[in-house]
Structure 1
Amino acid sequence: MMEYLAQYSIQLMCRVLGVHRSGFYRWRLQPTSIRSKRRDAITSLVKDTFEEFEAAYGAPRITQELNALGHRCSVNYIAKIMSEQGIVARNGKAFNYGSHTLTMHNVAENLLWRDFSTTGPNQKWVTDITYVWVHKRWLYLATVMDLYSRKIIGWRLDVNMTEQLITQAMKMATAARGVAPGLIIHSDRGSQYRSTNYVNYLERLGVKRSMSRKGNCWDNAVMESFYARLKVELILAKNYQSIAEARSGIFGYIEIFYNRKRRHSANDGLSPVEFEERAAKAA
């Protein structure tokens, strides 16, 4: 946020990014303590260990695992972190078998391994969801990108973050491009991308599913980069006050500006559409 203070108000940036102004000021004025850094690191390790052992380990066994790895901590310390994060083992009294548990159901192998290069269109697609703040509420934007030209080939904006959201974005992509043999579709491990209906839909298409490693945003770095540009170049600048305004603005940004006008370094300075048109003529 610091590099944009001259362009946008702190109030606007905090609202778009979903953080409190008081928290931002505390972060800005006070360096993160060693204790806070350690707690953040241990919290991440707790989540990873909980997922690795498929929600079967409670605080005592997770503590044993972390101590074995050289991270000295007590059962009470780990139990408090798990309570704060809402993490309960399957054998725990408060365990909920609903959709919010951190299980590894329907996780696909990472086929992409950060290799974002392609030799032609419809070989590798990436997809993800981002949050858009619009006048006291969140909207959710799902997008599908062809890594060949970095073109956004499918997208959907809605008030709910559901499997229908990502399915509609993917249906737009397949309607526009078709499905080529061997196509890889890569996403993170979000619950929507692991939902049975969505997985079955991709299997019917005959595509290869790929997923990022646990908590590793760099495995889908190209899409993350697109979202960063979208928020800086559009959302922060416009400060939309209605869903209709946001929908119209996002349509214009993706379909007109980004796909057809915005120059991309991966395309030798050409827009995605121009890059594909030139490649087709040269073929």
Structure 2
Amino acid sequence: YTEDEGFVYLNSIMDLYSRKIIAWTLSKTLEVEEVLKCLETAKRRRKTVNPVVIQSDRGVHYTSQKYKELTKGMIRSYSRKGNPWDNACIESYHAVIKREWLNRFRIKNYYQAYQLVFEYLEGFYNTVRIHSHCEYLSPDSYEKKYILEQTN
């Protein structure tokens, strides 16, 4: 929440293997376009021939025709009504960024919110913050370890 502009909305896509946030957008509205922009960024960054499963909730963004077109060829998995467990990893990430970082600040506007999310995500979460799931490595380090293991 920003003091001057009200709510801002963080869209994030996480690679469940490494817990790395591979794409994110911050928007002033709940427009479908922001979710689609985030998804397009993730697809560009993670070129893969392997099947991809994309998990989301049942919000209007994720059931729109545009979303379905953009996720064609992917396995779309939706959370069951009233069951947040399917989204536990990304929900946990959103709680962590608030608890560990954003709640420390009085955020004035969208620009400051964007800067804070960028600093946390690109400068700490993906690069430094350790995860028990990743053998107590950061998401970036865990992915590098995997690549090294595959080449040896």
Counterpart contact for 1:181–1:207, Cα < 8 Å: no
Instruction: Give deviations 1:59-116, integer Å, cap 9, x for gaps.
Output: xxxxxxxxxxxxxxxxxxxxxxxxxxxxxxxxxxxxxxxxxxxxxxxxxxxxxxxxxx
Deviation at 1:176, TM superposition (A): 0.9
Deviation at 1:181, TM superposition (A): 2.6
Equivalent residue for 2:3, pick from 128, 135, 146 = 135
Indicate the residue corresponding to 1:196 in structure 2. 65
- The 1-side partners of 2:88 and 2:106 are apart by 26
SS of equivalent residue, structure 1 residue 153: strand
**Which amino acid in 2 is paired with 1:156?**
T
- The 1-side partners of 2:93 and 2:124 are apart by 13
Indicate the residue corresponding to 1:12 in structure 2. none
- The 2-side partners of 1:180 and 1:161 are apart by 31
Which structure 2 residues correspond to residues 267-282 of structure 1 after superposition, within 5 A?
A: 267-282=134-149
Indicate the residue corresponding to 1:259 in structure 2. 126
| Identical pairs, percent | 36
SS of equivalent residue, structure 1 residue 192: helix
Unaligned runs of 5+ in 1: 1-132
2:59 matches 1:229: no
Indicate the residue corresponding to 2:45 in structure 1. 176
Deviation at 1:179, TM superposition (A): 3.7
- The 2-side partners of 1:246 and 1:267 are apart by 28
TM-score by length of 2: 0.94
Counterpart contact for 1:179–1:207, Cα < 8 Å: no
Deviation at 1:215, TM superposition (A): 2.0
Equivalent residue for 2:76, pick from 206, 209, 230 = 209
* Pairwise CA RMSD: 1.0
- The 1-side partners of 2:133 and 2:50 are apart by 24
SS of equivalent residue, structure 2 residue 101: helix
TM-score by length of 1: 0.51
SS of equivalent residue, structure 2 residue 61: coil
Which structure 2 residues correspond to residues 34-183 of structure 1 after superposition, within 5 A?
A: 133-136=1-4, 137-183=6-52
Higher relative contact order (CA 8 A, sep 6+): 2
SS of equivalent residue, structure 2 residue 12: strand
2:108 matches 1:241: yes
SS of equivalent residue, structure 1 residue 193: helix
Deviation at 1:198, TM superposition (A): 1.1
- The 2-side partners of 1:195 and 1:218 are apart by 23
Larger Rg: 1
